[in-house]
Chain A
Amino acid sequence: MSFSWLFGIIIGAAILFLAIYAVTTMIGNEEELQGAKTSKEIGILLSPLETGFESSKSSSFTMPVETRIYNSCNDFGTFGRQLISVSQKNLGKWTETDLEVGFSNKYIFSSREVEGKKFFIFSKPFLFPYKVSDLIYMTSSEKNYCFISAPEEIGEELENLNQENLFNDQDNFPEECIKICFSGDCDIKVDLVREKVEKEDQTFYFSGEALMYAAIFGDKPTYECTLKRLMLRTQELANLYDKKARLVQSNNCNSNLELISFSNKLDLIENSEDLNTVIPDMEDLQNKNEAAICKLW
């Protein structure tokens, strides 16, 4: 074989290899970009779930292909961030994803990985004692949740939500179902008196119905981290209401709420178990605000 042939073959192979490498990398990047775009779109689609008068709001979205939505959280900075990334099935393989899209103003509770084509989301306002945010609960249509012996109020709310994968009527329970009990023993145990949820040998403490649903639908690390983020926003809102109180005070309309001390106590909350340390202060603030002439919230 002459040198020119050998030279041509080697260089040709190198060019071909580079071209294949470039195309593969570009396809990978495009898949990641698509995943990031979808994550951002999901986050944006959650904006209309902000409640006004409503006690809860439900919606759903369907993806064109089988999708895994990864939900995680970090509590860095003033508010922390909810992180969403998406992996989609392409030619029978899940696309790899490293790109996480962060949202500071969203609080999403779900398992770490939610898989399916159709996803249900419902939201509920979290009050502590003022409205802190709307909590968003995300589930896949592939998982059913059966509420057993739920109190009337919760049962009614579930019926009003009309979400296809939430069941309250025992006669209509599907065969495969994650059972949630308010008394007795099953997959997820809810103790409304002690305000705790037990599942997978882990205990989640809550305060109020919004956090109860968060404990039911969320996984432990995301629940604890998102709760910490909620406390950060509660703290920031306490400072905001304190500044509002000073503005209103200049009009001689006193509210006399100890918001700074409440904010300092919130700073000490490390996990859901510490929630009960601020409940008395929270209730005291609520009562004082109710009685004030110039209500702060």
Chain B
Amino acid sequence: MVKKGQVKIQQMAFMLIALTIFFVLVGLVVLVFTFSGVTDAATELNERNAMLLVSKLSNSPEFACGDSFGNNKLACVDFDKVMALNINIDQYENFWGVSNIEIRKLSSSGRNTLCTQGNYPNCDIIRLRDKDLAGFDSSNFVSLCHKEKFEDTFYDKCELAKLMISYEVANAN
């Protein structure tokens, strides 16, 4: 016959197991809550980074026209330099902390041809990473300039373009 004391110990053991499970569950809920906060914060920071970066990226030396097309121009992207950057883009992995950068001519034929060494400068889109823009994006208008030859003289050809930066939503996994 089971003694009264043994029953009490059994009851306490069950109680303690239940209590431990309860604390573990509470801990898990807190962890999930904390990590969702972290991923939200990371996404928000990515968004803010993209927003601030897009307004200044055209002044960065890898994109800026500098004095190549007359006096220093603001919000001017050097088409020749960006094509050179496109060849070298592997060196710039994670440099700007965004997932992709794309420049799209607005005066394009509507064919949306991706720029390659073969069709440059008669193309519409320069995509620095070999993948579509994913996640969210921020954009800014820029002038896209390059040198063109007419008979024996060179002239600066500038077209209106949209500079787009995409960032991915932070994933807790």
Chain A residues within CB distance 8 Å of chain B? 2-4, 7-8, 11, 15, 18-19, 22, 26, 29-30, 33, 37, 40-41, 44-45, 47-48, 50-53, 78-79, 103-105, 130-133, 236-237, 239-241, 243-244, 247-248, 251-253, 293-297
Which of B5, B23, B80 is close to A15, meaning CB atoms less than 8 Å apart? B23
The answer to whether A37 touches B96, judged by C-beta atoms less than 8 angstroms apart, is no
Query: Taking A103-B97, A236-B91, A247-B80 as contacts, is the C-beta distance between A130 and B52 under 8 angstroms?
Result: no
The answer to whether A131 touches B61, judged by C-beta atoms less than 8 angstroms apart, is yes
The answer to whether B56 touches A40, judged by C-beta atoms less than 8 angstroms apart, is no
Is residue B158 within 8 Å, beta carbon to beta carbon, of the partner chain? no
The answer to whether B27 touches A22, judged by C-beta atoms less than 8 angstroms apart, is yes
Determine the chain B residues whose CB is within 8 A of the CB of A15 once the complex forms: 16, 19-20, 23
Q: List 12 A-B contacts (CB under 8 A).
A: A22-B27, A26-B34, A33-B38, A44-B48, A45-B52, A51-B59, A79-B95, A103-B97, A133-B61, A241-B81, A244-B80, A294-B154
The answer to whether B96 touches A105, judged by C-beta atoms less than 8 angstroms apart, is yes
Interchain CA distance A235-B78 in the complex, whole Å: 19
Chain B residues within CB distance 8 Å of chain A? 5, 8-9, 12, 16, 19-20, 23, 27, 30, 34, 38, 41, 45, 48-49, 52-53, 55-56, 59-62, 64, 66-68, 72, 74, 78, 80-81, 83-85, 87-88, 91-92, 94-97, 120, 147-149, 154
Q: How far is the CB of B83 from chain A (nearest CB, A)?
A: 6
Query: Taking A4-B12, A44-B48 as contacts, is the C-beta distance between A247 and B59 under 8 angstroms?
Result: no
**11 further contact pairs, Cβ within 8 A, besides A44-B48, A78-B92:** A4-B8, A41-B45, A48-B56, A52-B74, A79-B95, A244-B81, A251-B148, A251-B154, A253-B147, A295-B67, A297-B67
> Which 6 residue pairs spanning A and B have beta carbons closest together?
A243-B84, A50-B56, A47-B52, A297-B66, A244-B84, A131-B61
Query: Taking A244-B81, A297-B68 as contacts, is the C-beta distance between A37 and B45 under 8 angstroms?
Result: yes
Interchain CA distance A63-B64 in the complex, whole Å: 33
The answer to whether B147 touches A50, judged by C-beta atoms less than 8 angstroms apart, is no
The answer to whether B56 touches A47, judged by C-beta atoms less than 8 angstroms apart, is yes
The answer to whether A240 touches B85, judged by C-beta atoms less than 8 angstroms apart, is yes
The answer to whether A248 touches B80, judged by C-beta atoms less than 8 angstroms apart, is yes
Which of A52, A133, A295 is close to B68, meaning CB atoms less than 8 Å apart? A295
Nearest A residue to B93, CB-CB = A78
Determine the chain B residues whose CB is within 8 A of the CB of A3 once the complex forms: 5, 9
The answer to whether A252 touches B56, judged by C-beta atoms less than 8 angstroms apart, is no
Q: How far is the CB of A232 from chain B (nearest CB, A)?
A: 10
Q: How far is the CB of B163 from chain A (nearest CB, A)?
A: 14
> Which among A7, A29, A52 has the greatest number of chain B C-beta atoms within 10 A?
A52
Q: How far is the CB of A244 from chain B (nearest CB, A)?
A: 4
Which of A11, A78, A133, A248 is close to B16, meaning CB atoms less than 8 Å apart? A11
